[in-house]
Amino acid sequence: MTTFGYFLSSEEHDPKELVRQAKLAEEAGFEALWISDHFHPWLDEQGESSFVWSVIGAISQATSLPVTTAVTCPIIRVHPAIIAQAAATAQILLDGRFRLGVGTGEALNEHILGDQWPPAEERQRMLEEALDVIRELWTGELVTYRGEFYEVDTARLYSLPDRPPPIYISGFGPKSVELAGRLGDGYIHTAPAADMVEAFHKAGGEGKPCAAGLKVCWAHDEAEARKTVHRLWPNQGIPGEAAQLLPLPRHFEQLSQLVTEEAATQSTPCGPSPEAHLSAIREYVDAGFDEVYISQIGTEQEGFFEFYSTQILPRLRERS
């Protein structure tokens, strides 16, 4: 049976609001949470970007839902040894309900300490080595590590959960999906791509969970919802590799001026029609995703949760 969760947007909402939304999501019947991990928002208009590990700690005391980072980059901005400690602590606070979602990141967040932004293939090698570091530290043993990219000198984690959190790996191309299937405990994507699910299974992911997220914009008026999406998330319509390469929100704003409302909302159900939301979500279910996370764009959070609790989640569960 498919798990339907809520996707908390750290780029759009301040930390207290994220905790409030987590509680609203549980009350509405969502079964799990995703939370984004950013240093910068994509655009200044989005306006937020809190430290995800503090927010996860607060959420752990406010709900009983599982939490997954979607996704953390453990290769440049934060050393993998620190991610290992943070994730272990989150797993303790959440009583075993934490999943560490990881990926190779974006220059937007990872350039801030002055490090060079590596090409994609190098970042994939860095991620593989970072996962070695993280998993070695989760053994609780004293770790000294000398790798191509990372060094750890006589480090030991003392606060460890009964079992380490599963690691879900995001992947959007053949090489990253192969890495996810080979090394991950689960897979993360953001489109209803059945071919990626199949590739993950063939690469060693058979029997492992596949999770995906999408954005929606519920509102009483579809036209207003479309305007909200175009105002807050026009970067959704930017094609190609720009999302991995641009270093500042203003660069995304400059490119976003070329994105029409139609392009920004092409994959985002907008407005009050249940069928529009149901159809979009069912594409992910039909593509083979075991977990689907929905994020509400904008400030109409109470209306969204009421709409989903009464008109969307019950109908999704009837089918699944």
What pairing do the DSSP bridges indicate for beta strands 33-35 and 67-69? Answer: parallel
The catalytic position among 13, 38, 40, 277 is: 38
302 is catalytic: no
* CA dihedral (127, 73, 65, 216) positive or negative: negative
Taking the C-alpha atoms of residue 256 and residue 219, their distance in angstroms, rounded to an integer, is 23
Residue with tokens 């609790």: 309
The catalytic position among 11, 26, 106, 129 is: 106
Rg value, the chain, Cα:
19
**CA distance from start to end of the chain:** 6
Please tell me the chain's helix, strand, coil percentages from 3-state DSSP, rounded to the nearest 5.
45, 15, 40
Taking the C-alpha atoms of residue 35 and residue 252, their distance in angstroms, rounded to an integer, is 21
38 is catalytic: yes
16's enclosing H/E stretch is helix 15-28
Taking the C-alpha atoms of residue 143 and residue 135, their distance in angstroms, rounded to an integer, is 10
Query: What burial letters (b/e) apply to 93-109, b meaning 16+ CB within 10 Å?
Result: bbeebbbbbbbbbbbbb
DSSP letters for 131-142: HHHHHHHTTTS-
Q: Which residues have a catalytic role annotated? A: 38, 106
